[in-house]
Amino acid sequence: MIRQAIYIACAFLLIWSCRRNPGVSPGPQPYQLELPPDFPEPVYDISQNPLTVEGIALGRRLFYDPRLSRDSTISCGFCHQQFAAFAHFDHPLSHGIDNRTGIRSVPGLFNLIWQKDFMWDGGVNHLEIQPLTPITDPDEMGEDLAVLISRLNADAKYRSMFKAAFGEGEINSQRLFRALTQFMVTMNSFHSKYDSVKRQAPGVAFTYEEEQGYQVFQQKCASCHKEPLFTDGSFRNNGLPYNAALNDAGRMRITNNTGDYLKFKVPSLRNIMKSPPYMHDGRFYDIFNVFDHYSEGIEQTPTIDPLVQNGIPLTEDEKRHLYFFLSTLTDPGFINNKSLSEILIED
Amino acid sequence: MKPLYFLTACLFLFAACRKDTVEQGTMELEFRNVAGNQPLTLNTATYQNAEGENFTISAFKYYLSNFSLVKMDNSEVKLPAAYFLVDQANEASRVIKLAAPKGEYRAVKFLVGVDSTRNVSGAQTGALDVVHGMFWSWNSGYIMAKLEGYSPASTAPENRLTFHIGGFRKENSAIQEVLLTAPISLTVESGRLPQLMIDADALAWFNQPFPIKFATTSTIHVPGEDAAKIAANYRNMFRITSVTDL
């Protein structure tokens, strides 16, 4: 009888000691990211920064909060506009605080987890530390990182949001960057008409012009603007006439290698019809200017890419067809995705 | 008797599940920044490089990482990943406590700088937090070591000296490995605190094997050949000045 009582007591003790700690809250809610079946493996290792509903919400708030800039006027979303696929519509060069202007155009933000290097010259090597550049650059948001971190720590709303996303502890730059990254990780564009055609979605087909344009694209553009990302991620001199006013050495600024003079990252062509102006310095406002450049406007410099060295001749019909094909790369679901849209920050 | 068997069995089980732990101890490294024979003083003291050019130092900091200890049989014990930023302006940063397995050691080995992996691994914390201003935002990578100051010989604006030394790629890498052998052995075990006092001589930055003339070189803030030369110089700045094995 006594022995039975001991066994029962032991069993209870075991159950009691294995119970969940009631003092600990369940923690942030995991977020399942939808990835396209026909893309390569992402470059960014999401397991190092597990996505959560709270982390993404915090990243979105930070992205649209102008208080990340020195004078509280410029948010990330100020230059990265959703309707322009997170590029800066109609602005050739980036804008910053105090009416300052940068030397390059604002790149669109999407499919960043497949990107190896960032910026037009590839100077930034990791998605998480990419936000450091615009936040601290005097021509962009111009803020001192330490000042920003202490401002965030002094803000009750941010304190509670960071705690909800990352648990107890001070807000530090790693948490700031990882929250912004979680939001950026959700900015993916792979639901264009082109994608539907490729995935043989029922009832979707290219029109005659689109199909013709796709063939021109495959023959004349696809080796640099490689499918399905529409960039091979390389740095190339595409023969743009040198702009003395900007005097931008491009990739050479990063590598110190004269062989990289005037080379810039090959941009993706996804959503291109939504994100003019074009090129690293936004010199072309119309996509037909771009066609004309490749067809007739190549400037010969020592580092010119062999693929464009002799120009890429395009007939008027081919240009028109390309225009129709490139329009199929617009992803309305992405441009209008409510979970990426600007939020008004009032507290 | 049965319950006793049960109890004994339990005890064995517990013993079996106990984690096998090597006894850990601590070794302490204290870095004393100097300029030649004098303790380093920021801003107020004037120093001279080998070329006879006068200068002052307003900032002096460097990363130390990837520590190993060398045993008496010359085998190396790699210590757990740890990163330290020694900053002349921050007294506490000069003392580094290394957790190490019990043993007798004759030397310490470390990197001046941050290994290439951490230069490409995204947002970090602690000493590697980019908030310390030791990271290039426009060209990702850590500034491994930084010396700033003024020299009348400098042709830069306000006669500034700016030596931001970095670069983690194979070509022109600024990552330097240093091995310091102690004059006596150091024993790490619980209840002891062996200490190494190490001088770091700022003048060594401009000395050998690549003497630097401020009139021609006063600003380095990109990875490259010049940065690698300074790194090759400051690799020689460390010297053990005293050892306490208690």
Q: Is A224 annotated as a binding residue?
A: yes
Q: Is A280 annotated as a binding residue?
A: no
Answer whether residue B28 is part of any domain. Answer: yes
Omega within 30 of 0 (cis) for the link into A228? yes
> Any residues with CB less than 8 A from the CB of A1 and at least 6 apart, and which?
none
Q: Round the average pLDDT of chain B to a whole number and report it.
A: 93
What tokens were used for B145?
A: 């070591």
Domain with B104, as residue range(s), is 22-244
Contact: A124, B137; criterion CB under 8 Å: yes
Contact: B131, A145; criterion CB under 8 Å: yes
Contact: A256, B224; criterion CB under 8 Å: yes
User: Distance from CA of residue A127 to its chain's centroid?
Assistant: 9
Answer whether residue B54 is part of any domain. Answer: yes
Query: Which residue of A125, A136, A256 is in closest CB contact with B140?
Result: A125
Q: Which amino acid belongs to residue A313?
A: P
Residues of chain B above pLDDT 70, percent: 92
Contact: A137, B135; criterion CB under 8 Å: no
Model confidence over B214-229: pLDDT tens digits? 999 999 999 999 999 9
Answer whether residue B8 is part of any domain. Answer: no
Residue A8 pLDDT > 80, yes or no?
no
Query: Which residue of A6, A128, A146 is in closest CB contact with B122?
Result: A128
Domains of chain A: 46-188 (1.10.760.10), 193-333 (1.10.760.10)
Q: What is the DSSP code string of A113-157?
A: GG-SSBSTT--B--GGGTTHHHHH-TTTT---HHHHHHHHHT-HH
| Predicted local distance difference test score (pLDDT) of residue B101 | 96
Question: Which residue of A lies nearest to B137 if distances are taken between CA atoms?
Answer: A133
Answer whether residue B5 is part of any domain. Answer: no
Answer whether residue B6 is part of any domain. Answer: no
Answer whether residue B50 is part of any domain. Answer: yes
* Per-residue three-class SS string for A70-93: CCCCCCHHHHCEHHHCCECCCCCC
Contact: B139, A178; criterion CB under 8 Å: no
Dihedral sign for Cα atoms in the order B98, B103, B107, B111: negative
Helix (H) or strand (E) holding B141: strand B141-150
- How many domains are there within chain B? 1
Nearest chain B CA: its distance from A269 CA (Å): 25
Query: Which residue of B123, B139, B224 is in closest CB contact with A178?
Result: B123
Q: How far apart are alpha carbons B242 and B222 in whole angstroms? A: 36
Model confidence over B86-119: pLDDT tens digits? 999 999 999 999 999 999 999 999 999 999 999 9
- CA angle at B19 for the pair B16 and B20, rounded to the nearest 5°: 95
Nearest chain B CA: its distance from A75 CA (Å): 18
Model confidence over B40-75: pLDDT tens digits? 999 999 999 999 999 999 999 999 999 999 999 999
Q: In terms of DSSP H, where are the helices of chain A? A: 2-17, 53-63, 76-79, 132-136, 145-153, 156-166, 173-185, 193-198, 208-220, 252-255, 287-296, 316-327, 332-335
The burial class, CB within 10 Å (0-12 / 13-18 / 19+), for B221 is middle
Q: Which residue has the higher pLDDT, A218 or B1?
A: A218
Residue A318 pLDDT > 80, yes or no?
yes
pLDDT grade for B5, boundaries at 50, 70 and 90:
low
Q: How far apart are alpha carbons B131 and A145 in whole angstroms? A: 6
Question: Which residue of B lies nearest to A127 if distances are taken between CA atoms?
Answer: B122
From the CB of residue A250, how many other CB atoms can be counted at a distance below 10 Å?
Answer: 23
Nearest chain A CA: its distance from B123 CA (Å): 5
Q: Is A18 annotated as a binding residue?
A: no
| Predicted local distance difference test score (pLDDT) of residue B17 | 53
Find, among B108, B78, B80, B75, the residue nearest to B186 by Cα. B108
Q: Which residue has the higher pLDDT, A331 or B11?
A: A331
Return the bridge partners of B35, or none.
B38
pLDDT grade for A26, boundaries at 50, 70 and 90:
confident
Q: Which residues of B touch A133 (CB under 8 A)?
A: 137-138
**Between A and B, how many residue pairs show a Cβ–Cβ distance under 8 A?**
65
pTM of the model: 0.89
Conformational region of residue A214, where left means phi above 0, alpha means psi within -120 to 50, and beta covers everything else: alpha
* Distances from the Cα of A268 to the Cα of A120, A201, A264, A314, A320, angstroms: 12, 23, 12, 20, 20
| Predicted local distance difference test score (pLDDT) of residue B231 | 98
Residue A247 pLDDT > 70, yes or no?
yes
Q: How far apart are alpha carbons A103 and A262 in whole angstroms? A: 13
| Predicted local distance difference test score (pLDDT) of residue A346 | 83
Q: How far apart are alpha carbons A136 and A320 in whole angstroms? A: 42
Q: How far apart are alpha carbons B155 and A51 in whole angstroms? A: 50
What tokens were used for B77?
A: 């014990």
Residue with tokens 């970095």: B166
User: Distance from CA of residue A97 to its chain's centroid?
Assistant: 22
| Predicted local distance difference test score (pLDDT) of residue B143 | 98
**DSSP, res B120:** T
Answer whether residue B15 is part of any domain. Answer: no
Q: How far apart are alpha carbons A154 and A171 in whole angstroms? A: 10
Q: How far apart are alpha carbons B84 and B99 in whole angstroms? A: 13
Residue with tokens 């990163």: B83
Answer whether residue B11 is part of any domain. Answer: no
Asked if A171 reaches chain B (Cβ–Cβ under 8 Å), the answer is: no
Return the bridge partners of B63, or none.
B85
Model confidence over A271-316: pLDDT tens digits? 999 999 999 999 999 999 999 999 999 999 999 999 999 999 999 9
